[in-house]
Structure 1
Amino acid sequence: MQHLTPDSESAGLLKILNDYAYALDILDKYDHQVLAIESATAENLFEITYPVAMSAILGLRDKFGGSTLFGNEKDESFQGSLAAIYQTFGGQYVYPSVEEKAAHLLYFVTKNHSFSDGNKRIAAFLFVWFLDKNNILYHTDGSKKIGDNALVAFTLMIAESKPDEKEMMIKVLVNLMNMRN
């Protein structure tokens, strides 16, 4: 049995604080409503288009044996979700970084409920697929930047959020997947 001493407890606390300082800082900035988008990837390598996205969604349905309702569009809102992440104002992207586009893609596809079935799964899949196509889904050592539990939490956080919380949801998401992580 190991006995804890004040020195070993201090070392353990310092290790935890060091390992989770960034996350605790994000929570502090959230609490004080000063969270901003930072350290995001400027270079977009891949632009998601409607035909390519629909092909990927149908592939997802086929791989997981989904019903014919999975990925079945109810209206044209999915096309609008894709177009929205590339909107410009004054010749500049409204969402300039890859992370901002990805976060908005997850948000719009989740919230617009464009499909008869599978909206959250489709949104989560398109989100990580988009990040992968832009070469920022994995760390340089090949490990996942976003774990399965984080992907589920992000998606459900957005699904349960109120519309007036959109900007803060996006800021939290971008800060949890930016170049600092």
Structure 2
Amino acid sequence: MKNNPNTTSLEELLALVLEAEPLYALLKAFDQGTIPLRQGQLPRGEPLTPEETWEIIRQLRAQDGLATFGVPREPGLVESLLLAPFQSAGGQDIYPSVAEKAAALLYLIVKRHPFEDGNKRTGSALFLAFLGKNGLLKKGTSAYRQLQRILVWAVLYVANSPDDDKERVIQLLAHLVGEVTWAAQGEGKA
């Protein structure tokens, strides 16, 4: 075999692989159902109102041009899904942080298909709006750019995930939101 000047040595490959330890730790935590969250950084938050939601959907429909985009399948389902991340049990929020609530909202919109068309796009938009409303995301920031880059993957992952993985998927999404927004806050760019 000829020497390729672009070939990386085994030592360099090992350094590359071993430096990704946080990735392996997160994958292990996912398998074990113990994904860590930055709880102290993420307050409870406020839900999107129906008025905010329907205006966002109206704007998206105007951009999309499809008459069926964002048309609800059944009365009251969208409003119910907006409040679902705020449910509690035994006096404790099921999803205590804004990141968890945002992840649950995205999951529910994508998986429950409350609209005739545009569930993934609408879920993504409401996810971003929810984070923005609750102070974790601002347009033009590093967190906004990072979330945009991973959101397509995240939405497709949610759409194709088994229903019995719901809580693990929500925790993984919440972890990603927490990491991205926490890092941006540390830079003063949340």
C-alpha distance in 1 between matches for 2:65 and 2:50: 20
Contact 1:137 1:146 in 2 (8 A): no
**Distance of 2:13 and 2:137 partners within structure 1:** 30
Moved more, 86-95 or 71-80: 86-95
Query: Given residue 105 of structure 1, which amino acid in structure 2 is its aligned partner?
Result: L
* 8 Å Cα contact 1:78-1:114 kept in structure 2: yes
Residue 124 of structure 2: aligned partner: 124
Q: Which amino acid aligns with 1:172?
A: L
> Contact conserved, 2:26 with 2:35, CA < 8 A, in 1?
no
Q: Deviations over 1:65-89 (max 9, x none)?
A: 3212111111122112112111122
More helix by share: 2
The 5-angstrom pairing of residues 98-177 of structure 1 reads: 98-137=98-137, 142-143=141-142, 144-148=145-149, 150-177=150-177
Q: Which runs of 5+ in 1 are unaligned?
A: none
Q: TM-score, normalised by structure 2?
A: 0.78
Q: Please say if residues 45 and 97 of structure 2, whose CA atoms lie closer than 8 Å, have aligned partners that are also in contact.
A: no
Structure 2 residue matching 1:85: 3-state secondary structure: helix
CA deviation string 1:55-104 (max 9, x = no partner): 11111222x23212111111122112112111122333221101100010
Alpha-carbon shift at residue 43 of structure 1 (Å): 1.8
**Structure 1 stretch displaced more, 33-42 or 116-125:** 33-42
Secondary structure of the corresponding residue to residue 86 of structure 2: coil
> For the structure 1 residues 36 and 14, does the alpha-carbon distance in structure 2 shift closer, same or farther, using more than 3 Å as the test?
same
Indicate the residue corresponding to 1:14 in structure 2. 15
For 1:81, the equivalent position in structure 2 comes to 81
Tell me how far apart the structure 2 counterparts of residues 12 and 125 of structure 1 sit (CA, whole Å). Answer: 39
Amino acid of the structure 2 residue aligned with 1:30:
F
Verify the 8 A CA contact 1:35 1:172 in the aligned structure 2.
no
Q: How far does residue 26 in structure 1 lie from its aligned partner after superposition?
A: 0.8
Deviations 1:138-161 (Å, cap 9, x if unpaired)?
Answer: 69x92123143x211111111111
Distance in 2 of aligned mates of 1:15 and 1:58: 46
- The one-letter code sitting in structure 2 at the alignment partner of 1:59 is Q
Cα distance between partner residues in 2 of 1:92 and 1:69? 38
The residue type equivalent to 1:47 in the other structure is P
Say whether residues 1:67 and 2:66 are aligned partners: yes
Partner of 2:49: 49
Given residue 15 of structure 2, which amino acid in structure 1 is its aligned partner?
L
Ranges in structure 2 where 5+ consecutive residues have no aligned partner: 184-190
* Pair 1:37–1:81, CA change in 2 (3 A): farther
Match of 2:147, SS state, is coil
The residue type equivalent to 2:113 in the other structure is H
Query: Offset of 1:132 from its aligned partner?
Result: 2.1
